[in-house]
Amino acid sequence: MVAKTKYGDTFCVSTGKYTGRSPKDKFVVLNPGSESAKNMDWNDINQPTSPEVFKELQEKAVGYFNTIDKAYVFDCYVGASPASRKKVRFVHEMAWQQHFCTNMFIRPVSSEELENFEPDFTVVNACADQVKDYERLGLNSETAIVFNIEEGKAVIFGTWYGGENKKGIFSLMNYLLPLSNPPQLPMHCSANVGKDGDVCLFFGLSGTGKTTLSADPHRALIGDDEHGWDEDGVYNFEGGCYAKTINLSEETEPDIYRAIHTDALLENVVLDPNTDSPDYFDTSITENGRVSYPIFHIDGYHKEQMAGHPKNIIFLSCDAFGVLPPVAKLCPGEAIYHFLSGYTAKVAGTERGVKEPIATFSTCFGAAFMTLHPTVYADLLQRKLDTHGTNCYLVNSGWAGGPFGEGERMSIKTTRSCIDAILDGSIEEAEFKKDKNFGFKVPIALNGVGSNVLNIRSTWEDPEKYDEQAKKLGRMYTDNFKQYEGKGSIDYTAYGPKDMGPCKESTSICD
């Protein structure tokens, strides 16, 4: 369908049954004796399947494509850094899915590149076909997203959701980069750069504000979701953006709103039957309405899509308990603790079955896409922080004044004011007070942020209820973190809520 927007006509598509990812249907081939069999963090996210099952699925996909009249092949790069990028080939039956990939990945710029293109990885997306005999194959449904690391291949069945293409390749990069020489850190984050070359990373799950908050009119966008950090600095994996459209308006999100014109692709957005204009406030299809568009639709984007080493890192948490302050400064040990914890809330619509925010711990702010053990990424980040002296902060884009259902969502103005203070360096001049529950430092006053909001406890009508909630969340942190005790090169347990003094001078990490 054609969608008529203020800045030009574009297309709007329906992804059918699935309006979000289908994480229970993602599998990785366990090739006995292989490197991936040894390195992969096998769990309920990285579910193993056999080479025999993959072979059967691959033959099924090839057979299916032999029955249809037309297929679309797109060769692209993942990674803006010529030294680090990977070559990927997508094969689709749906023209709009092919267009999605042209929006989201990096296009070769010359005919010579295409003539000599040899993919490192090939994805065959038979989205309209289903795996009817999934039980015999040990799968979970008629939908399947299956990766074979050794063969450099993947197949997709039964889901039209565009994000499966994007996030599948992200999972692949999360496997390959830490094992490269020298090791690189893949990150589920957005990134932008200031006029002086200062880079800021924004970590967070879908719905926490990565895309929104990194789209800053005073800074150039490097990328909105997936990046690598190598010896030269930060680089974007992608060539486009995949933004949520729920409640989108030009007043609140001008960069994203104005990017929706020719070549943008709306997914699962309701169109007004009389005007064909998108209604971003109508969530009758899903709360996970999306738009993909090439990054050059953003005015002032960073054309190189690469920059130096980060000056600041911001961990975004959508705190459904209403306990965390709007901003806190983290020492390096606390930064790794919160990186491994990845506390946030699953936001409605980004996964099947999620209708309201649910508190969750998603390691590295992207557990669904991490293919190695989380401490591999944590150790890499620790080394980067040690080498480059990057400042780290926790920002709560969730609730204040009470938990979800009682309090109110933190205003975008408050969150942006906190981030502005980080980016302009004024937060470093603030007076801080140590949070008695979590140990990190909270500024007492910041320009543009009410002191009552910075003191998150004071936003609650009943401070004792806040204390109960804070203790509850603290226990959730410590219970979750038990899985990392004694793992990795450093045990970061002491940097969480159990230890109210993690930044003493005697601790080497936080000196």
Q: What residue ranges do the domains of the chain occupy?
A: 22-160, 185-239+305-495, 242-293
Residue in this structure with the two tokens 């926490």, named with its chain if needed: 208
Q: Which of 188, 373, 441, 457 does the annotation list as catalytic?
A: 188
Q: So what's the pLDDT on residue 80?
A: 97
**Which residue among 85, 210, 338, 441 is the active-site one?**
210
Annotation says 225 is catalytic: yes
The CA distances from residue 117 to 58, 74, 89, 113, 235, in Å, are 22, 11, 9, 6, 22
Is the model's pLDDT at 501 over the cut of 50? Answer: no
Amino acid at 398: G
For domain 185-239+305-495, the CATH architecture is Alpha-Beta Complex (3.90)
Which CATH number applies to 22-160? Answer: 3.40.449.10
Statement: residue 502 has pLDDT above 70:
no
Rounded to 5 degrees, φ, ψ at 219 are: -140, 155
Which residue in the list 60, 244, 290, 311 is annotated as catalytic?
A: 290
Asked if residue 503 has pLDDT above 60, the reply is no
- 171 assigned to active site: no
Please tell me what DSSP assigns to residue 459. G
> DSSP secondary-structure letter at 61?
H
Q: What is the pLDDT of residues 205-262, one digit of tens each?
A: 766 878 778 878 899 999 989 999 999 999 999 999 999 999 999 998 888 999 999 9
Query: Is position 206 annotated as part of the catalytic site?
Result: yes
Single-letter residue type at 254:
P
What average pLDDT does range 165-170 have in this prediction? Answer: 96
> Contact at 8 Å (CB) between 444 and 451?
yes
Task: Give me the DSSP letters along 83-96.
Answer: TT-EEEEEEES-HH
Looking up tokens 């803006």, which residue turns up? Answer: 80
Q: Is 141 a catalytic residue?
A: no
Residue-wise pLDDT for 437-476, tens only, equals 999 999 999 998 988 899 999 999 999 999 999 999 999 9
Instruction: Fill in the amino acid letter for 126.
Output: A
Give pLDDT tens digits for 312-328: 999 999 998 899 999 99
- The answer to whether the beta carbons of residues 258 and 289 sit under 8 Å apart is no
Q: Is 188 one of the annotated active-site residues of the chain?
A: yes
CATH-assigned architecture of domain 242-293: Beta Complex (2.170)
Out of 5, 15, 21, 338, which one is annotated catalytic?
Answer: 21
Average pLDDT, the chain: 93
Q: Does residue 15 carry a catalytic annotation?
A: no
pTM (predicted TM-score): 0.92
Residue 211 a catalytic site member? yes
Closest C-alpha to 156, from 27, 30, 296, 339 = 27
- Say how far apart CA 170 and CA 367 lie, in whole Å: 12
Residue range 271-321, pLDDT digits in tens: 999 999 999 999 999 999 999 999 999 998 999 999 999 999 999 999 988
**Whose CA is closest to 343, among 367, 325, 319, 326?**
319
Catalytic residue flag (residue 299) = no
**Which of 10, 81, 206, 363 is flagged as catalytic?**
206
